[in-house]
Amino acid sequence: MTAAYKRVALIGLGLIASSMAHAMRQFGLADEIVGHAKSAESRKIALEIGLCERVYATAAEAVQGADLVVLCVPVGAMGEIAAEIGPHLAAGATVTDVGSVKGAVVEAVAPHMPQGVHFIPGHPIAGTEHSGPRSGFATLFRNRWWLLTPLDGADRDAVARLRGLCEGMGANVDEMDVAHHDLVLAVTSHTPHLIAYTMVGVAEHMRRVSNSEVIKYSAGGFRDLTRIAASDPVMWRDVFLTNKDAVLDILGRFTEELFVLQRAIRMGDGEHLHAYFTRTRAIRRGIIEAGQDTSAPDFGRVPLGGGEGKT
C-alpha cells in the first residue's frame, strides 16, 4: 500500500496516538512518524518501544515538515497547542484531532490555522480504559467508526486523503456536522460515562455496603460500569466542560425517563417495565448486528493475563 502521508506528527502519545502509530506502521500508511508528549517519561517510553522515529520536547519542533499533524491531547489543551504549532505548520499540511467534542475544538484550533493549512476535525470512536504510550495496538480502529467533521469550504482532496488514512487503519469513516456530532456523542458516549462515574460514586458513599463487598460481588452490571469509569479523568473533565449544552440536554431527557421508571417500579407496573426493557434490548441487539460489539459469553472479554484491551 502506498503511504498516505510522508511525515505524520502525533501531538500527545497516549492510547489513540500510539494505536495510530502501530496501525500506520503495520499497514505502510506513513513514511515517517514523529511525536511530542508533554511528559518526559512518555517521550522516553515512546522512543524505547519504537513508537516514533523521533520524539520532540515541544510540539512546535514536532510539526515542522509534517504533512499530517494529529492533535491527540485533551480537548482543554487544544487551543494552547494550536497556538504553539500554527506558525510552524508546513504549507498544504493537514491538521486533524481525535477529540470526542468537536464544537469546542473548532473554536479553539481554527483561529490558529494559517492560510493554506487544511484543518479537518476528526473523532475515532474507539478506545479502552487504558492510557499512555504502551497502551496502543494496531487493531484498535478495526471496524470502528471514525467521524470527520469538515468545515465549510474544506478542501475535498485533503478530506479524501485523510479518509483514506483512517480506512487504511481499518476504520469505517463517515462525515457529520460539528453540532450534530456533539449531540450524538452526548447520547452514545458522554452521558453514559457520566452515569458510570455517578454509579461508582453512589457505591462509594453507601455506608451499608463495605468496599470489600462492592469489589467482591462486582461480576454484574457494576463491573461493566466501572470499566468506562476507569477512563482518563482529565479527558472526561474536559469533555463535560466543553460539551455541556448537549450533555445537559441528554441528562434532562435521561432524568425524565428515570422518573417514569421510578413510578412504574413504585406502582408495580410490570407491563410497562417489560415493554420498556423489550424496546431497549432491541437497541443492544442492533449494536451487535452492526458489528460494534460481540454477543460472545462474558461480552467477549479476554481472560486475565492475556490479549489486547477491549474497546
Q: Which residues contact 62 (CB under 8 A, 6 or more apart)?
A: 9, 10, 11, 34, 35, 36, 55, 56, 85
Position 1 pLDDT exceeds 70: no
Query: Any idea how long the chain is?
Result: 311
Beta strands in 89-171 (DSSP E): 94-97, 118-119, 122-124, 145-148
Position 177 pLDDT exceeds 50: yes
CATH topology of domain 180-267: 6-phosphogluconate dehydrogenase C-terminal fold (1.10.3660)
pLDDT digits (tens, 9 = 90+) for 39-90: 999 999 999 999 999 999 999 999 999 999 999 999 999 999 999 999 999 9
DSSP for 251-290, please give it: HHHHHHHHHHHHHHHHTT-HHHHHHHHHHHHHHHHHHHHT
The count of other CB atoms within 10 Å of the CB of residue 125 is: 19
The whole-angstrom distance between residue 92's C-alpha and the CA centroid of its chain comes to 26
- 95: helix, strand or coil: strand
User: Which superfamily does CATH assign the domain made up of 5-176 to?
Assistant: NAD(P)-binding Rossmann-like Domain (3.40.50.720)
Position 284 pLDDT exceeds 80: no
Q: Which residues contact 277 (CB under 8 A, 6 or more apart)?
A: none
Grid coordinates of 266 = 413504585
Comparing 224 with 307, the larger pLDDT belongs to 224
Question: Exposure string (b/e) for 108-119, b if CB count within 10 Å is 16 or more?
Answer: bbeebbeeebbb
Comparing 176 with 286, the larger pLDDT belongs to 176
Q: What was the pLDDT predicted at 292?
A: 64
Domain ranges of the chain: 5-176, 180-267
Dihedral angle computed from the Cα positions of residues 174, 176, 181 and 185, in that order, rounded to the nearest 10 degrees: -20
Mean pLDDT for the stretch of residues 227-243: 80
Half-sphere exposure of 59 (CA within 13 A, CB side): 25
Q: What was the pLDDT predicted at 195?
A: 83
Q: What was the pLDDT predicted at 127?
A: 80
H/E stretch holding 224: helix 221-229
pLDDT digits (tens, 9 = 90+) for 137-167: 999 999 999 999 999 999 999 999 999 999 9
Position 306 pLDDT exceeds 80: no
pLDDT digits (tens, 9 = 90+) for 105-145: 999 999 999 999 999 999 999 987 788 999 999 999 999 99
